Structure 1
């Protein structure tokens, strides 16, 4: 045998020596009768990371939640991502929310939301919704629940559901007034926004106004106390701020809601003279000049 053949045979024999014969008895898992875990060496615990995407896999749920917390619409789901992965059945997990500007087509949905959210004397009429969603739909925002991907794939007829809305108009006044909350009854035929004889302030939407008056922040009763309203309002504020289309946002709030709106940057400017719904309102103003740019 040549030296080359001898070297090849030695390598084959060495490779075969590296394997051990394993019997069926050896392959069976032994039971630890003492209730102790089998010992494991440090070398057995070492794992190889194949790419940077695997870095810190143990904490990926925290990273996802941190990233989602800054999303204007899905922020409300941030605290539930980990639970969803563990099979949570909370309402959040079936919302798949999406926000969208509303149009005249959503009048009936808005009426239903507001009927459930407010006492009768504080609700907007159907015609007010028609007026506002016809004249200035770009100032509205709705949050919808979506059918899941599985439902869509199964051909489900489930439709999007309006969970809550924000409805607004413009005014040249620095705050919400009775006139800004009203609307001209001849709005379908008269397109002017100028004050009529005897009016100190024109009724309804004023296209050139620098104040956006929020008339309704409403969420369906079965989705209240879930953060839906907070997400909707935060998203709306960011939307208007980024668009740079107004000097301020204004709304009316009862005493028990002042702290809620204060968390979003609205300042309490004292009692309002508005008499809508029986009065006892407070002027809440958010000046965009007071907000720092991101």
Structure 2
């Protein structure tokens, strides 16, 4: 168990296999209600289509303790459509899940992951530029519950206000981080 273990001892990297995605499913289940969480099939689809946007935190045994899962879309904000599709030409990264194992919560893992994720997307943009692709990711966008808004603000996101997206029973707020 992670009792007292600091988040800075974790290894942060992209997920490498579908087995690692399957290991993340219980974290998704623990982090969201049944009507809000992504199914295992949806998580595997997102990994297959946008594995470069799936970042995990792993403990010293190699077990996943947190992750961020995203896709790309052309819209400037997360939409219902973006939750089920990936547009590889889209300039917006739609963050669908930020999950941390219940045993690792309140130890700074989510904030550490969010900051590492922003760095990784900026590095990805540098690789795109170096390859001369002409493409660039311009924004991170997510939906947040009200109680998590301070966390996302500490990670550099701007809260735009209530979202028009209805997903489950709670109200959601649009948050963005322009790159």
Aligned partners of 1:169 and 1:145: how far apart in 2? 25
Query: Which stretches in structure 1 are left out of the alignment for 5+ residues?
Result: 1-88, 148-159, 183-203, 289-294
Residue of structure 2 aligned with 1:278, choices 169, 175, 178: 169
| Per-residue Cα deviation, 1:49-70 (whole angstroms, up to 9, x for no partner) | xxxxxxxxxxxxxxxxxxxxxx
Instruction: Please say which structure displays the higher CA radius of gyration.
Output: 1
Any conservation in 1 of the 2:7–2:109 contact (CA below 8 Å)? no
The one of the two structures with greater contact order (alpha-carbon pairs below 8 A, sep at least 6) is 2
Helix, strand or coil at the partner of 2:107: coil
Q: Secondary structure at the match of 1:164?
A: strand
Report the TM-score when normalising by structure 2: 0.87
Query: Whose strand fraction is larger, Structure 1's or Structure 2's?
Result: 2
**For each residue in 1:237-274, what CA deviation from the matched residue of structure 2 results, as whole angstroms up to 9, or x when unmatched?**
11112322410000001111112111111111122111
Q: Distance in 2 between matches of 1:172 and 1:90?
A: 41
1:132 aligns with 2:51: no
- Structure 1 residue matching 2:177: 3-state secondary structure: strand
Q: What secondary structure is seen at the aligned counterpart in 2 of 1:259?
A: helix
Root-mean-square deviation (CA), in Å? 1.9
Task: Tell me the number of residue pairs that the alignment of Structure 1 and Structure 2 aligns.
Answer: 167
Task: Find out whether 1:162 has 2:76 as its counterpart.
Answer: no
TM-score normalized with structure 1 length: 0.54
Once the two structures are superposed, residues 39-94 of structure 1 have per-residue CA deviations (whole angstroms, 9 ceiling, x without a partner) of: xxxxxxxxxxxxxxxxxxxxxxxxxxxxxxxxxxxxxxxxxxxxxxxxxx963169
Pick the aligned partner of 2:156 from 265, 275, 288.
265
